């Protein structure tokens, strides 16, 4: 599988994929500084949610999916104690027109 990194200059759409959770407060990025977690904003203009997690290319070569999820959960739990369960983590993909 090939994963494209970087910006596509002739594209009018944006998309992302990450293992993580949805959070309802767009002000939360301040709480995850230093955690190495990614923050992606929902493409829906009416949605005040953000997605917090790690993209698939962050998975280590010798890491299982369970270990990857546990690593993300541990980072989330440091910044949002008792707010999420490991079962809340899932693959999140979103995209839309940007123009």
pLDDT, tens only, 50-95: 888 899 999 999 999 999 999 999 988 988 889 999 999 999 887 6
CA quadruple 94, 90, 67, 26: dihedral positive or negative? positive
Residue pLDDT, tens place only, 7-21: 444 454 557 788 999
Residue 36 — very low, low, confident or very high, per pLDDT cuts 50/70/90? confident
């Amino acid at each position: 599988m090939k994963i494209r990194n970087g910006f596509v200059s002739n594209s009018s759409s944006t998309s992302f994929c990450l293992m993580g959770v949805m959070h309802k407060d767009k002000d939360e990025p301040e709480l995850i500084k230093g955690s190495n977690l990614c923050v992606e904003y929902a493409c829906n203009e009416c949605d005040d949610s953000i997605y917090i997690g790690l993209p698939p290319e962050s998975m280590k070569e010798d890491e299982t999916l369970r270990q990857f999820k546990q690593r993300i959960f541990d980072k989330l739990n440091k910044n949002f104690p008792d707010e999420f369960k490991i079962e809340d983590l899932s693959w999140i993909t979103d995209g839309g027109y940007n123009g």
